[in-house]
Amino acid sequence: MIVTWDYLAPERLWFLLLVPGLVVLYVLLQYRKSHYAVRFTNVALLDSVVPRRVNWRQHVAVALAMLTLAFAIVLFAQPTKIVKVPRAAGVTVVLTIDISLSMQATDVSPDRISAAKETAKEFLTQLPPAFKVALVSFARNAQVVIPPTVDRQQVTDAIDLLELEEYTATGEGIYTALDVVKQSLGTDAPEGTKPAMIVLISDGARTVGRSQVAAAEAAKEQGVPIFTVALGTPEGTISSGGESVRVPVEIDQLQEVADISGGKAYIAESPDELVDAYKDVEGGLVFTRERADATSQYVGYLVLLALVSTGAGLFVASRWP
């Protein structure tokens, strides 16, 4: 059922006046038929010219035809529905991924970096096509792997090629992501919260580079929230120099970064939890609600109604008992 009074072409609803007009015409024709029939005195001839009483099936068939016509006219006026659309086509999302050696830990199946890559690519498929996505990686240093683009395949291919390196420069990763946002939005960026966000995936504490706290404060000043995903468990280990080295996930630092910047922190101890975190992050993006054409949503109902109406017409026309 169409439950909106808003249409893209409301003037077409005037065609609905045809329906009561046709109903009146139908009633007049029935009256004329019955009035014409009484002029015959031969009962047998009368039965052959017109039935003494109109079959109720005929009225049902006509009613279905009128209903089909009315529904078609309503769709012709193009009813609308409310849809979510990005606030601006220039929304930028910067995927910032930790590629330090601790990301080879296998406490997340098959390992942290593989889980991060797969779910990052899944996240890309959930973003609106108009959103620009950039990829930043960080270990000893941070680098822009892919600048902002709407080409999802380009970003996906770059994620697959990420390789692990030594050290963890979390602060540098954030500063580099902020530079990407600034260049992407240019001088037209609005005041306050920007149409941009940083998604930071990491498992450990900063070991080199500038402070991640200072970087988070810079993000807050620029109006760019950081959504952090702490990937791993407290029991994570890696092999280094023939020895097993503990690399527990560091949650507190990432929580602090998210809190300062105005974003949100997540903990993902499994690939499924990481996907859930990404879905929640997507929900934090800025949308507006607009009206869009909903005609196609109801065409199926019209086809069904037309089939029923046609079947009723054939039933009456063939004079089935």
The per-residue pLDDT for range 162-221, each reduced to its tens digit, is: 999 999 999 999 999 999 999 998 866 666 667 888 999 998 789 999 999 999 999 999
The pLDDT score that the predictor gives to residue 12 is 87
Closest CA relative to residue 107, chosen from 267, 253, 248? 248
How many CB atoms are located within 10 Å of the residue 95 CB? 24
Cβ atoms of 260 and 222 closer than 8 Å: no
pTM of the model as a whole: 0.62
Q: Rounded to 5 degrees, what angle do the CA atoms 61, 67, 68 make? A: 90
Residue with tokens 């004329």: 32
Identity of the amino acid at 206: R
Q: Per-residue confidence at 283, pLDDT binned at 50, 70, 90?
A: low
In order of 135, 257, 269, the CA distances from 111 in angstroms are 20, 24, 11
Q: Looking at the predicted structure, is the pLDDT value of residue 69 above 50?
A: yes
Strands 287-293 and 132-138 come out as: unpaired
